[in-house]
Structures are given as structure tokens and as C-alpha cells.
């Protein structure tokens, strides 16, 4: 078959909502786009372990400690599924890791914000995992089989995290005045960064025609952002907290809230590497990697000696 024929088969699969599998032919730009998207997603999960991991040793109850430890472990597991999915597209784990460690690869900017108080842990589960789900639900039906299957599993766990985060923030919102203030402060700091997670406004977003066709995107950034706000405002009200946006207002005509845009200059600045934690996150990943080098080397050396021993 020539390329045109392959392309035809590929297009036909997309049209029928069939999955593209690792061994199937795929256009080079499809492969590239997916490698970038899936590896970035994996990096986000791994870097995302840091701001929350920061509070494991300080979790205020035994149950909270168990829940947080398990959550951070889940995020690492998500990273692992996603790296594996990306590997099936023909990139090695070392290449991806290297891109992350050298600062070449991107990861979700939200993790460059600091977790300053315990309430941030609840806020991350509730808002950040909540926004992640909204972004990711559609990826469960993405055209690339391994990615789609990884996302089914991940989304299930993310919604569990979101419920736990909301439960944690509920304890605070209905707790002592200090706890409630802590919850409000966390909401104040995480609200706009969370809205940024849906990406730049549609008017500035480059044409995502391919992403839509390949079913790695289904709704636009602004549509998703709007849905998130509509859903979350109700929860904020139930908690007796206040959305830190004085322009927030119900719009009867559009059956949704009007709200202020996040500060896109700040968004670009954090992406550029100027968030308060950018350097620390990368340094932290690099430290773990370089301090683990002798461990990996020992395992490799030992592994190589084993067959020799058996042969002898």
C-alpha cells in the first residue's frame, strides 16, 4: 500500500470512532502531536506530586495522612500509565525524562503555585483535580487506544480525588473560624490559577482543528472554563465561601455565570518559568533523579550479573 492508502484507512478509522493502535499506521503529525500531549500530561502528574507531597508529613489527622499519601501515589501512577502510553508512540522514557529535567518539556503551570497552608490540599483536590477532570473526560474517547484506556482509569481516580478534596475543604469551611479563614484564603489563591488550567481564551488559541478531528479535544477552552465556573460556584455557595471575583454574576440569558478573566500576563509569565515555584519544582525533580542515579546503576549492574551466575 502507498501512503495515500494508509491515510485512507486511518481516516476511515477516525470516521468510525475506532481506535488507532500502536501498530497501526498514523500520520507523522498525529504521532508528534500525541507524543507532546501525552508526555506533557505525564510530566504534569509527576510534578504535581510535589506541591501535595509537601504536606504529607504535616497532614493533621491519621485519616487525612492516609488519604493524601494515597492520592499522591495515584498521581504517580497516572504518570506511569501515561509514560507507557507515550512510549507506545515510539519515544523512550529517558528521552521524556530528559526533556522534563532540562526544562525543555512543559507541564501544567498550576503546579508552580505553592501550597502554603493545609487548606491548599483540599483546594487542589476540589478545584485542580476538578478542572483536570473537566479537561480530561473527553480524552477517554480520544482516538489513540492506549491514551484513551489510560484516561478511563485516570478519570475514575481523579473524580475520587475531587470528592476527597471537597470533603476536606468542607471540614474547614464548617470548622473553626480559623479553619474557615484558611479555606477562604486557599480559594482566593487557587481560583484564578485553576481557571487558567483550561488554557488561553479561544480568541487567542491557535486553531485546534486537528485536535478536534483526532478526538483529543472536544470542546473549546472557553466552553470548558464556563462549565467549570457554573458547576463550582454552587459548591462555593454551599460552603459559605466567596468566589474572589467581584464581577461574578448569574446571566439568565446564557444560563451561566459571567466572570472575570484570569490575569493572562501572569499565566504567560508562569509558563515562561517565573512562577514562585518553577525553579524549585525542577530542582526537586533533578535532585531526586541525580541522587537516584547510583540506585539505578546498582540495580542494572546486579541485573547484568544474574544471568552470568546462572550460567556458571
Partner 1 sequence: MNSNEALFNYTLRLGDTSLILAQRLSEWTGHGPFLEEDLALTNIALDILGRGKSLLEYAAQIEGKGRSADDLAFFRNEREYFNALIVEQSNGDYAKTMLRQAFIDCFDLLFYTELAKSKDSVLAGIAAKSVKEITYHKRHSFSWIKRFGNGTEESASRLQHAFDELWQFTGELFEMTETDTILIKENIAVDLATLKPMWEKEIQELLREAHINIPETTFMQKGSRQGLHTEYLGFILAEMQTLPRMHPTAKW
Q: Let me know how long the chain is.
A: 312
Q: Does residue number 287 form part of the binding site for partner 1 (CB under 8 A)?
A: yes
DSSP structure string for 200-234? S-TTTSPP-HHHHHTTS--S-HHHHHHHHHHHHHH
> How far is the C-alpha of 49 from the C-alpha of 281, rounded, in Å?
10
Q: Minimal distance in Å, beta carbon 33 to Fe ion? A: 21
Q: Locate the DSSP E strands across the chain.
A: 249-251, 256-258
Q: Does residue number 179 form part of the binding site for partner 1 (CB under 8 A)?
A: yes
Comparing CA positions, the residue from 257, 235, 234, 230 lying closest to residue 246 is: 257
Quick one: which segment of 14-22, 137-145, 258-266, 295-303 binds partner 1 (CB under 8 A)? 295-303
Q: Around Cβ 94, how many Cβ atoms within 10 Å?
A: 8
Please, which residues have CB within 8 angstroms of residue 23's CB and are 6 or more apart in sequence?
Answer: none
Quick one: which segment of 27-35, 52-60, 188-196, 214-222 binds partner 1 (CB under 8 A)? 52-60
Is 45 or 245 the residue whose CB approaches Fe ion more closely? 45
Is 79 or 245 the residue whose CB approaches Fe ion more closely? 79
Q: Minimal distance in Å, beta carbon 129 to Fe ion? A: 4
Q: Does residue number 87 form part of the binding site for Fe ion (CB under 5 A)?
A: no
Q: Does residue number 308 form part of the binding site for partner 1 (CB under 8 A)?
A: no
- The footprint of partner 1 on residues 78-97 (CB under 8 A) is 79-80, 83
Q: What grid cell was written down for 291?
A: 541522587
> How far is the C-alpha of 22 from the C-alpha of 261, rounded, in Å?
40
Q: Does residue number 43 form part of the binding site for Fe ion (CB under 5 A)?
A: no
Residues at the interface with partner 1 (CB under 8 A): 46, 49-50, 53, 56-66, 69-70, 72-73, 76-77, 79-80, 83, 118, 168, 171, 175-176, 178-179, 284, 287-288, 291-302, 305
Amino acid at each position: 500500500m502507498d501512503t495515500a492508502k494508509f491515510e485512507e484507512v486511518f481516516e476511515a478509522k477516525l470516521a468510525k470512532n475506532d481506535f488507532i493502535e500502536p501498530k497501526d499506521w498514523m500520520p507523522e503529525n498525529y504521532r508528534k502531536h500525541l507524543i507532546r500531549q501525552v508526555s506533557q500530561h505525564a510530566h504534569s502528574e509527576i510534578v504535581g506530586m510535589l506541591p501535595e507531597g509537601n504536606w504529607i508529613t504535616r497532614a493533621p489527622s491519621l485519616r487525612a495522612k492516609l488519604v493524601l499519601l494515597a492520592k499522591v501515589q495515584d498521581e504517580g501512577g497516572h504518570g506511569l500509565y501515561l509514560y507507557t502510553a507515550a512510549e507506545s508512540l515510539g519515544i523512550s522514557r529517558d528521552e521524556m525524562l530528559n526533556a522534563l529535567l532540562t526544562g525543555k518539556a512543559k507541564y501544567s503551570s498550576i503546579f508552580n503555585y505553592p501550597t502554603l497552608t493545609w487548606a491548599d490540599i483540599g483546594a487542589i483536590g476540589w478545584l485542580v483535580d476538578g478542572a483536570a477532570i473537566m479537561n480530561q473526560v473527553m480524552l477517554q474517547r480520544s482516538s489513540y487506544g492506549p491514551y484513551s484506556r489510560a484516561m478511563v482509569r485516570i478519570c475514575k481516580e481523579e473524580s475520587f480525588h475531587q470528592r476527597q478534596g471537597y470533603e476536606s475543604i468542607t471540614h474547614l469551611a464548617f470548622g473553626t473560624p480559623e479553619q474557615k479563614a484558611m479555606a477562604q484564603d486557599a480559594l482566593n489563591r487557587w481560583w484564578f490559577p485553576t481557571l487558567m488550567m483550561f488554557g488561553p481564551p479561544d480568541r487567542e488559541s491557535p486553531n485546534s482543528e486537528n485536535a478536534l478531528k483526532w478526538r483529543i479535544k472536544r470542546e473549546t477552552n472557553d466552553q470548558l472554563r464556563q462549565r467549570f465556573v457554573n458547576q463550582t460556584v454552587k459548591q462555593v455557595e454551599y460552603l459559605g465561601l466567596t468566589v474572589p471575583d467581584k464581577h461574578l454574576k448569574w446571566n439568565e440569558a446564557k444560563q451561566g455565570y459571567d466572570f472575570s478573566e484570569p490575569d493572562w500576563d501572569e499565566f504567560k509569565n508562569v509558563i515562561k518559568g517565573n512562577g514562585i515555584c518553577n525553579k524549585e519544582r525542577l530542582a526537586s525533580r533533578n535532585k531526586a533523579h541525580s541522587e537516584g542515579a547510583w540506585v539505578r546503576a546498582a540495580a542494572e549492574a546486579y541485573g547484568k550479573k544474574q544471568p552470568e551466575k546462572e550460567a556458571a
